[in-house]
Amino acid sequence: MAVEIMSGTQELAGESDLPRRPLGSAMKRGLACRCPSCGKGRLFSGYLKVTPVCAACGEDLSHQRADDAPPYFTIMIVGHILVPIILAVETAMTPPLWLQMTLWPLLALVMSLAMLPMIKGAVVGFQWARYMHGFDPQGDADDSRLFFATPNSEAGISGGAAR
């Protein structure tokens, strides 16, 4: 990974020292609600609470910061599935309003609750595979500095705001 700075590209320290982690299999394991590292341990200790450490391989998962990404992706997916179905049913059958007011919100709720843990698992798998948010053994837990690089900052990669 490289950081683009006004004058060119600068490599991040230690980038080449890290082994490549398979993105596809990490996200598939996350979708299955399994540890992105080994695929055997459970990813969640509750509905959406990520286990701090994988019971099978010992991978530290406490660094994950999925935040608002899983609900956002869930809303996008459920909406893209339901809206065409709603339009097709409305065009073909014109069901009564009370049925639509009951069926579609209930279906959206059930789909969202079913998909949310899987999508959060995939996001955690993505973060693990890309060494984000503390999953980098050589970095710090606050890697937001990579997104706010300024030309005058130390080594060109730390944040511009005072800490």
Q: Is residue 126 assigned to a domain?
A: yes
Which among 82, 81, 84, 80 has a CA at the least distance from the CA of 104? 82
User: Per-residue pLDDT tens for 48-85?
Assistant: 999 999 999 999 999 899 999 999 999 999 999 999 99
* pLDDT at site 140: 62
pLDDT class of 101 with cuts at 50, 70, 90: very high
Name which of 54-58, 105-109, 133-137, 144-148 the model is least confident about.
144-148
Q: Tally the domains of the chain.
A: 1
Q: Is residue 161 assigned to a domain?
A: no
In this prediction, residues 1-23 reach a mean pLDDT of 59
Q: Is residue 14 assigned to a domain?
A: no
Q: Is residue 7 assigned to a domain?
A: no
Q: Is residue 104 assigned to a domain?
A: yes
Q: Is residue 95 assigned to a domain?
A: yes
pTM above 0.85, yes or no: no
Q: Is residue 50 assigned to a domain?
A: yes
Name the one residue in this structure whose structure tokens are 């994950």.
64
* pLDDT at site 142: 55
Question: What is the extent of the structural domain holding 34?
Answer: 21-156
**CA angle, residues 38, 43, 46, in degrees to nearest 5:** 160
Q: Is residue 46 assigned to a domain?
A: yes
**3-state secondary structure at position 6:** coil
Please count the helices (runs of H) and the strands (runs of E) in the chain.
3, 2
